[in-house]
């Protein structure tokens, strides 16, 4: 609907026009009724209409003067004059002030309809043209932005650009120092991905349009990793204080224009633009220090990171101790272990900023393997919590990462509490199976079926329990036990290799020799020669074939 303002000093006529015509059918809605030109201008300031229908002779400010004001200040508003005077001078003034229609009173409904339908068509055409122009402008700006992003993304990735052309472009800029700044939005929640994207694009625009390039110049893009990145340049290497001042000014402008606080990481500066990929990694490292330092630091430079000497690689989780506390339902003690490890990193500068993620995941992976012995699948537990291992990466603070791990451990503890009797029973059964195997591993009878018959369980169940409890296959365990025992027997030169093979449960000596070589890299005969280097070999060569 287009808005129509009626300006007429005779109230009966004014409200008759406003209320007696079904304007909506013609595509209009009455936005106001005024008694003279001054009232009309005040109303237009508050709510600009698309069309003004005005009388000519009115007190204080007449229609002619109102037309002049509208033509100068609001040329887009369509003007229709409704007058009882067929005066040539009025017509001339109307033409001069771009009046669309000059209607004489009294005007019938049909004439009104023809006039306003024609104006609506004109407004529709102009609206369509304006929309097309906006779309073209938007497409042009988007194309320009995409081209700029493509160029600077290539620079910070180190490939994807024409090297000679880029060298020439940077050569034309003269002797400059180049660095990279990474901007992080200090917002608590980024679950609404679209809103977060819109915020980033808004800030990218603010940084490119509002930041004065004094001393340090910057061009900003939303990069291939969905981070706001600026390539900075300066005639000389910027000092630390200059960088802090630059970021302070930048942050003030962004906060004023968008209401969003930011923090930044800045790389070292180099005269070679081909160092920009390293600069980008440095800036990422700096910005990521926010994980470890929750104070409201506005900026971190790479020089500060280079000066840090914290030996974080010496820190690790004791997965066995964590598992013990979980199994004993000591959740608070497991929590204390987590707190102790994560607190080691708090407030520190960590050059390998992703280390805390790897450390946490290593502990979870080790725990996952250990839990299999008790019939607990960590991935299944995490699915119940609607999370995966990689969910730790986007978390922005040590506290969030610790809570992520703690939440998983609490759920594991609950899972194990529900099946405590079961896994204790399985553990007891596993020990019984192992005792049987350790006593009879060199027997030809030993097998899953043989052991299963002894403990009254089927072979598949025996195999599963054995692997979960001891971390290896039933058959591999027996082979290892036999081979270890055979090594002791080989120390006796009076024992023939085929005799040892038969005693260990291998009727086929070649099978024994093959398994021995696979495990130890040498044959039984070679092993015996190592034990007895000066002879004593009573066996024939064919026994070692």
SS3 content of the chain, % helix, strand, coil (to 5): 60, 10, 30
- pLDDT, tens digit, 9 for 90 and up, residues 129-144: 888 888 777 766 667 7
Start-end of H helices in 350-391: 355-371, 378-384
| 382: its two tokens | 């995490």
Q: Which of 232, 208, 234, 216 is nearest to 156 (CA)?
A: 232
> What number is the average pLDDT over the span 19-28?
92
Write out the two tokens for 329.
Answer: 């339902």
8 A C-beta contact, residue 104 and residue 84: yes
Strands 78-83 and 51-54: parallel
pLDDT at 418 over 70: no
Tell me the average pLDDT across 405-423.
79
Angle at 324 between CA 322 and CA 327, to 5 degrees: 110
Choice between 106 and 506, residue whose per-residue pLDDT is larger: 506
CA distance to 147, 263, 264, 399, per residue, from 305 (Å): 33, 16, 14, 22
Tell me: the pLDDT tens digits for 358-372?
999 999 999 998 888
pLDDT digits (tens, 9 = 90+) for 433-462: 888 888 888 887 888 898 888 888 888 888
Buried b (16+ CB within 10 A) or exposed e, 21-53: bebeebbbebbbbbbbbbbbbebbeeeebbbbb
pLDDT of residue 315: 92
Q: What tokens were used for 467?
A: 């692997």
Q: Check: pTM over 0.85? Answer yes or no.
A: no
Give the tens place of pLDDT for each residue, 41-64.
999 999 999 999 998 888 889 888
> d(Cα 395, Cα 404) in Å, to the nearest integer?
9
Mean pLDDT, to the nearest integer, of 175-201? 85
pLDDT tens across 334-353, in order?
999 999 999 999 989 999 99
Nearest to residue 65, comparing CAs of 30, 73, 84? Answer: 73
CB of 186 closer than 8 Å to CB of 259: no
* pLDDT value for 545: 40
Which residues make beta-bridge pairs with 53? 6, 80
Banded pLDDT at 542 (limits 50, 70, 90) = very low
pLDDT on residue 539:
46
pLDDT at 373: 74
**Residues 9 and 59 sit within 8 Å (Cβ to Cβ):** yes
Count the neighbouring beta carbons within 10 Å of the beta carbon of residue 224. 15
In terms of phi and psi (left: phi > 0; alpha: psi -120 to 50; beta: otherwise), the region of 160 is left
With beta carbons less than 8 A apart as the criterion, state whether 45 and 74 touch. no
**87 falls in which pLDDT band (50, 70, 90)?**
low
State the Cα–Cα distance between residues 108 and 319, nearest whole angstrom.
91
- Quick one: pLDDT band at residue 426, thresholds 50, 70, 90? low
Tokens standing for residue 151: 């160029």
Burial status of residue 500 (CB atoms within 10 A of its CB: 0-12, 13-18, 19 or more) = buried
Q: How confident is the model at residue 88 (pLDDT cuts 50, 70, 90)?
A: low
**Torsions phi, psi for 160 (to 5 deg):** 100, 10
Phi and psi at residue 52, to the nearest 5°: -120, 125
User: Which residues have a Cβ under 8 Å from the Cβ of 357 and sit 6 or more positions away?
Assistant: 392, 393, 401
Instruction: Kindly report which listed range (5-14, 44-53, 206-215, 406-415) carries the lowest average pLDDT score.
Output: 206-215
**Contact present, 159 and 216 (Cβ < 8 Å):** no
Cβ atoms of residues 453 and 413 within 8 Å? no
CA distance 221 to 231: 9
Of the ranges 206-210, 270-274, 380-384, 413-417, which one carries the lowest mean pLDDT score? Answer: 413-417
Token look-up 């055979």 returns: 486
CB 369 within 8 A of CB 319: no
Helix (H), strand (E) at residue 481: helix 474-489
The secondary element (H helix, E strand) that includes residue 247 is helix 240-258
Q: How far apart are CA 147 and CA 461, in angstroms?
A: 63
């Amino acid at each position: 609907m287009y808005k129509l303002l009626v300006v007429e000093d005779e109230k009966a006529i004014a409200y008759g026009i406003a209320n007696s015509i079904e304007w909506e059918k013609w595509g209009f809605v009455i936005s106001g009724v005024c008694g003279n030109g001054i009232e009309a201008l005040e109303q237009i300031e508050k709510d600009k209409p698309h069309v003004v229908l005005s009388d000519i002779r009115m007190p204080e400010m007449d229609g002619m003067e109102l037309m002049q004001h509208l033509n100068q200040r609001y040329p887009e508003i369509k003007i229709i004059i409704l007058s009882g005077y067929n005066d040539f001078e009025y017509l001339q003034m109307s033409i001069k002030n771009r009046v669309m229609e000059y209607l004489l009173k009294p005007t019938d409904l049909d004439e009104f309809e023809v006039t306003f339908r024609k104006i609506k068509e004109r407004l529709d055409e102009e609206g369509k043209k304006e929309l097309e122009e906006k779309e073209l402008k938007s497409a042009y700006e988007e194309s320009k932005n995409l081209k700029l992003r493509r160029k600077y993304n290539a620079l910070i990735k180190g490939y994807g650009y024409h090297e000679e052309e880029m060298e020439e472009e940077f050569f034309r800029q003269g002797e400059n120092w180049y660095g990279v700044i990474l901007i992080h939005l200090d917002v608590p929640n980024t679950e609404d991905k679209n809103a977060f994207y819109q915020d980033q694009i808004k800030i990218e625009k603010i940084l490119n349009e509002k930041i004065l390039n004094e001393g340090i110049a910057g061009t900003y893009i939303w990069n291939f990793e969905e981070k706001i990145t600026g390539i900075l340049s300066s005639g000389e290497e910027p000092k630390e204080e200059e960088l802090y001042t630059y970021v302070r000014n930048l942050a003030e402008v962004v906060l004023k224009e968008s209401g969003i606080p930011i923090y930044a990481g800045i790389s070292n500066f180099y005269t070679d633009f081909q160092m920009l990929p390293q600069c980008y990694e440095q800036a990422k490292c700096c910005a990521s220090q926010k994980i470890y330092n929750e104070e409201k630091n506005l900026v971190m430079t790479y020089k500060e990171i280079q000066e840090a000497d914290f030996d974080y690689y010496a820190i690790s989780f004791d997965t066995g101790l964590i598992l013990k506390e979980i199994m004993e339902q000591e959740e608070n003690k497991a929590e204390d272990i987590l707190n102790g490890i994560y607190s080691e990193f708090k407030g520190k500068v960590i050059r390998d900023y992703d280390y805390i993620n790897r450390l946490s995941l290593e502990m979870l992976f080790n725990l996952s393997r250990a839990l299999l012995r008790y019939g607990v699948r960590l991935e299944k537990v995490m699915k119940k919590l609607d999370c995966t291992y990689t969910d730790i990466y986007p978390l922005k603070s040590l506290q969030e990462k610790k809570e992520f791990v703690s939440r998983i451990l609490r759920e594991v503890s609950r899972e194990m509490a529900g099946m405590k009797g079961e896994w204790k029973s399985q553990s007891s059964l596993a020990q019984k199976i192992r005792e049987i195997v350790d006593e009879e591993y060199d027997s030809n009878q030993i097998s899953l079926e043989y052991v299963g018959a002894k403990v009254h369980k089927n072979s598949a169940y025996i195999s599963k329990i054995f692997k979960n409890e001891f971390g290896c296959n039933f058959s591999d365990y027996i082979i290892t036990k036999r081979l270890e025992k055979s090594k002791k027997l080989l120390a006796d030169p009076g024992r023939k290799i085929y005799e040892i093979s038969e005693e260990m449960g291998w009727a086929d000596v070649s099978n024994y020799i093959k398994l021995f070589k696979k495990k130890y890299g040498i044959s039984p005969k070679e092993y015996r020669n190592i034990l007895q280097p000066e002879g004593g070999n009573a066996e024939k060569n064919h026994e070692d074939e």
